[in-house]
Structures are given as structure tokens and as C-alpha cells.
Structure 1
Amino acid sequence: MAAILKVPENTASELLLVYKYTKAEGVVNLENATEASLEVSGEKFDGITTICKYLASKTQPQLLGEGKENQAEVEAWSNWAITAFKGVTSKELNAALQKLNEQLTSRTFVVGNQISLADLIVFAHVHHTSKNLRVKSTPNVLRWFDLIQNTVVIKNDLVKNFAPLEINLDDVPEPEAPKKEKKGDKKGDKKEEKKDGEKKEGGKKDKKDKKDKKEKKEKKPAAPAEPEQPVFTRLDIRVGYIRKCEKHPDADALYVEEIDCGDGEGQYRTIVSGLVKWYPVEEMQNRWVIVMANLKPASMRGIKSAGMVLCATAPDGSKVELLSPVDTSKVKPGDRIYVEGLEGEPEKVLPPKKKYFEAVQPDFNTKGDKIAYFQDKPFLIKTASGEPVKCEVATVQGGGIK
């Protein structure tokens, strides 16, 4: 007996978003009703988070999070969104947006390093109040909102249900260091204010003329638009070779690898990876990998990581496997990955604000042949001989890559 999801019309938008994003049509039938509920084999489930968790578990279990701690955090933020944005005062709404903004200060997603159920549920609620988002007060929410609406809503053709918000990320200000106030500034300001107060009609006219001149001076002709470079080509994905790997001294789940990424003779990168659960340290020695090489270096438990090894995760989360060249005899460290039909030079370092990697990573996948793909185009390694080499994993089929 198929499961039946009952969704109230024009409400429960988080349920609708999760249902459509997970493409749960194959396992759950959708019906209109006055109250939200889920019926499975005669058993009835209530509660938005409970229903969303069921939909994800049957379609994309990775949305639930990795590990008990991560899963608990995903559930906590999902429950928070349901109460923080419904039927609240303007003051309470602003407080909720500020809390979310703080959570996203140094994060791409609400929880963890990939999209989760929390992102979908929180987004559905923030979307209803998007008119309250401001560059100055919630810049981190705006960046996150733009990422989710592009990778979830626009990409999956859900714009009828969630109209996109126009966001210019160039308007989002970079953090500024506090300016020290010089002695005498306040005094000088008071003198100027007094002076201006003493001016009569002639002074006001002079002020207006200066303002008009300043506005005319600031107007510049618009620069010609630059051709848009495919986002994938901005990534610097390379062949790497692990020379040495050992456990992180302060984190049981992390390895610290020394990887030759072709940066120069004797120059090796330190990269930290959470692969202890999936590979014994012996299997991490002297092996070929595929590396995201132009992410901004980040400290992981006190050790700066200058890249990320790419892995495929099984749809049910049961396996995580390293990508590697199909034929290692034809490649060398530093050989770059490309896909046919896309051209452009990679960024030296990906600007975190632009979210280039996050925008295309959901399209990284393996198919039945265990080959790595971007959408439907295989990853190809540009070799010295000119013969392209594909990338593969050991067994994962239909998995996501990150």
C-alpha cells in the first residue's frame, strides 16, 4: 500500500518543498487536506519534521545528516524553523533572522557541509518573509538564501511554488574593521553643525548646489558586461598523490594527508579529511586521488587544510569512496580535470562569497558505470599525451560526489 501525504492548500510549504525536492512521487501520493498528515499502511504520522524525515529517508537519506550528532542538529534546526517564523511579531521575526544570520556566519549550509533537511525547512519559512532580508542586517542569510534558491528551487523547476528573490551578492558588504575616532572629530562636527545652523537661505542654496555637483560627479557610464564563464571551469580540480597519511592528533575521525598536487618540486599540500570511518590508514598511503585545489584554506581542529579530496557517497550513506584516475599510468600530480564543452581558467582561490563550488557540487555524481560525472558529462583528466583519462570509484553507483 502506497503512503499518502495530505497537505493543506496554501500552507505547509516546507512539506511541499521537501516532497518535490526529494521527488517522493514514486513512494508517496500527494493529496489536499485541511491538516498535514502522512498515512503509511494504515498508520498515521503527524508533525511536520516527522513527515519530512520520512520523505527524506525513503528518497535521499543524506538529507538527514551524517552521524547521530549531525542528525540531532538537523532535527533541532528543522523544529526551530517551524516555531520561529509562524505567527510571530515583527520583533520576534527579526530575532529569528538574526539567529540564523549568526549560525551562517562561517557556514555554507545551516548544518554540516552539505544541504540537509534543515536547509529545506528553514528556507521554506524564510521565503515567506524574504521581504524582511536586508544586506546590512542579514548578509549571511542572503548568501545562503541565494544558494538554496538556485540549487533547490530554480534547478528543480519549483519557481511556481517559490518565486525567486532577486539578490545582488555584489551589494553584500565585506566585514569592516572598526574605525577609531580621532580626537577633536566630535568638537569639529559640533562647530560645523553650529555653522550650518547659522546659515540662511543663501547657505542652503550653496549646500544644494554642492550636493547636485557631487551626484553628477559620482555617475559613471556602466561598464560593458563580461561574458559569463561556466562555473565548473572556475574550479581547480586536479590529480593528487598521497605521499603520507596519519591520524589527526586532536580528532579521531580525521586524517592529515601530505599530497602532491603538482604545485612544484618538493611542494606538498596538507589536506585534512574525515575518512577514518571509511578507510584504514594503511589504505590511505601512496594512492592516487582527485583534489579540489582552490578552496580557501581552512583550519580543521588546529591544522590548516589546503584542499579537499573528492569522494562519492552511496545513496543510502552506507559507503564513501575516493575518486581516482581510471588509468594511473597516464597521469601525473597536478593534471587538471575538465568536462567537454566548458572552457575557462580556474580561479586562483575561490571567493567564499560567490559559492561557486556549492553551486555546481550537487551536479557531481557517479552513475551505473562508477565513473565520475558533472551532470551527464564525465570528469576528464587532461594528460601530457593529450589522451583524456576518466575518474572512477570502486563500487558506488548513483552516488553524490563531494
Structure 2
Amino acid sequence: MASSTLDESLLTFLKTHAPNNASSETDAVKASQTLFPETAYTEAEKAEISQWVITASHVSSSSEDAAKSSERLSSLNTHLSSRTTLLGAKPSVADIALYQKLSPVVSKWGPEERTGDQGHHHIVRHIDFVQNSPIFGLKLDDKVNVDLDNVIFKIKPIDAKAEKERKKKEKEAAAASAAESGATPTTLTGDKSTESQGGNKSKKEKAKDKAEAIGDAVASTVVGKASGGGPPEGAPTKKKEKKEKQPKPQKAAPVEKPLSPALIDLRVGHILKATTHPNADSLYVSTIACGDPPGTDNTSEYEGQVVRTVCSGLNGLIPLEEMQNRKIIAVCNLKPVTMRGVKSCAMVLAASPRVAEGEDSHKGPVELVNPPIDSKAGDRVYFEGWQGEPEGVLNPKKKIWETMQPGFTTTDALEVGFDVEAVPQLSGEGADKKTGVGKLKTAAGLCSVTTLKGAVVR
């Protein structure tokens, strides 16, 4: 499919507001590749980009009647209900085209048109995502005013896993229902054939036909035996020899990864908002983007981003305002736990002074671990010298986190590191004993704390 050409108004918009000099490309796919050089598009996605650019030029057309326009908007809203961008998760010039055409329309919508029972919630969310997300990097002086608190009719987020399970159960119920009624592909085909040849028959007639068919089958079997088609009636038959059962090959045991702090999935997280826990005075509840792809277990969507809900015992130790819109380091593969009615799906790393045995280890002060300034949500975080692939979910019985955590510390230079000597299972003993501190880092640099030296990090 040939790629569509960007119209003059969109090219002007890109030249004024978009990065990467995308206005030099008039082809929709090439413009997308210029805007988002790190994104690879399949052939199907390239065709989709072209189609959406065309659709964007029609969706807000003033020449169409109200009914047709409403139908287009409704269809677009449904499409965006389970997607972050028009392609699903990948950004493209089509998203910007849609923003350019629809933002003047959405800005004039009232609360009912935006978030009412029949409102276009997902279009509004997409417009807000495109104008604010650093992914698109649009330089806009005037943005569509979106009041996140003014929601008339709240829509429950689609749970991809639950939706898949629901469809599976529907199929199983349909199959069970068919089995209970005696319907099979052959009987159903037979019924259709009978009806097409002799019209609609009563149940009594159908039962009679079925009995006759069975009788004919039995008779043909007996005749076949008598006419040499098989052994004579009453003749002894040979027993089939039983085949010896071959032992099933045993599945190879999964190779266990060597014990290492690299088994812990550490990532840069971006706290989008934090509130106090409704049922616990010591807890905050944070909404954190950790770079998870759409549909990841134990995630939801907030402001167009895939997020995790995280409970942390920082209330009273860190001011709530310091928890807002900031980058942190998150442990992302601990098994989720429910804390006073709220499911927590990660852990925020923080440092606090070491205390003597018997003293209160939670009295503070406490400082959040800071990732490098240029890091992004989802960036991998690791200790120097301990690179490797983390586990999907840490097995609580193996106590990997509990074994590794004593090695998490801060240095005199306020850097966060892993002290191997604090973990006997890794350091060993005698002449071969390992020592040293591997610094915690991302591709953008080292992780640090503000003032706490020689602190424990957990």
C-alpha cells in the first residue's frame, strides 16, 4: 500500500511544533521514522499510519453531516479505549495529525461531551497524552485544557487478562452447551442436509430417520462380514497385541541462575502522583510508570501511560509534595502484596542511617534514591560487576531479596552501591574472600542519595 502524503496544514504544524525537522518529509511513514528514529514499524503498521493520516483529515471535517461525524468520533473513541496510541503503543505522525485536527474540536467540548456517559473519554485522554508526553516532544504555547478531576462518568479500565479469560469461558460454555444437546459437527451437517432435501421435519420424524440410519449401518456391517468383507460371524478373533509403553522422557530441570544482585529487577520509575493510603497512616500510595509494555500483569493505565500502584511506608518520613512527579528507583519483580486493601506491585528504594540492634530502624531520616537526571522511566538499573538478566518474579521461598538487600549501601561520595562483603553467600571466606562495592548505575550515570553516607538502602 502506498504511503499517504501529509497535507500543507499538518506540515506547517510539524514545522512549528515538532522536533527532528519532520516537516521536511511529506510522506507519512518517512515523517514517522524521522520523528521517532528509535521506533521500528512493520509493513502492516506502515499501512495503518497512512490510513490514520487520511482518517484524521476526515474525522473533524465540517463538510460532513452531524450523524456521520458522530459515528466517526464514536468509532475512534472505541479504537483508543484499549490503546495508548493509534498503533497501540508505538508513536507515529498519525497521532500528531489527529491532535492537529481534533484539538480545536475537543477544546470546545463541554464536560458531558468529554466524560459523560456517552462522552469521548478516550479521545480526550489521547489528546492530553500527545500534547504533554515527552515521547512526542511537541512545543505548544496553547494546549487543550483537560481537567483530570472533572469526570462525570468514570469508566473502569479494560483488564486485558480478564477480557481474554472471559472470551475463553464463553467458548467453553458454548462447547459444553453443544455437547449437552448432542450437537456435533456431523449431526448438525446431517440435519441441514435433511432439511434441504425434505423440508422441516418434526422431532419424531428426525428420531425415526436417525434410528433407521443406525439400523442401516449395523446391517451393512453384518452383510460385509457375511460376504467376505471380514471374519465370519462367531469366528474367534485375534486379540490385538498390546504395545509396550515407552517411558516418557523427563523434562530437563530449568537451569537455576547463580545467586546475584542482578536477579533483582531494578528500574527507573517516574512517580506520576502520590496520595496518602486511605486505611493506613504510615503509607503512601503512588502511581508509578516503570516502562512496562501494555497488558503487563499487575499494571493499569493512567494519563496514557502503563503504571504500577505502589504502597510505601514513607508517610511521616518524606513530605508528600516531595513524592510528586519525580524519578525514583523501583524494585519491580517482588511478588505483589496487598497492604490494607491496596495491592502494591513494586517497591521504592530509599536510604536510612544504620542503627544498632534493638533500635528503631524506621525512625528516619529517610532519603529516596535518585537516578541520573537524564534517565527515563523503565531504564534498567544494575550494580557494576553484577550484570545479568533479572528473574521474572522473585520466588519468596528462595528469599533472594532478603539475602541481597544487606549489601545495598551508600558510600562516602553519596553513591549507592552493593557491598559484596555484607553478603556471605557471595563473598566467601579465607584467602578467596571477595570485597568491594559495585556502584548502582543506569546507562545515563550513577544513582545517589542527597546526604546519607554509609546508609542502608531498602
> Is TM-score (shorter-chain normalized) higher than 0.5?
no
Instruction: Name the structure with the higher strand share.
Output: 1
Flag the structure with more relative contact order, 1 or 2, with Cα contacts below 8 A and sequence separation at least 6. Answer: 1
TM normalised by structure 1 equals: 0.41
Q: Which has the larger radius of gyration?
A: 2
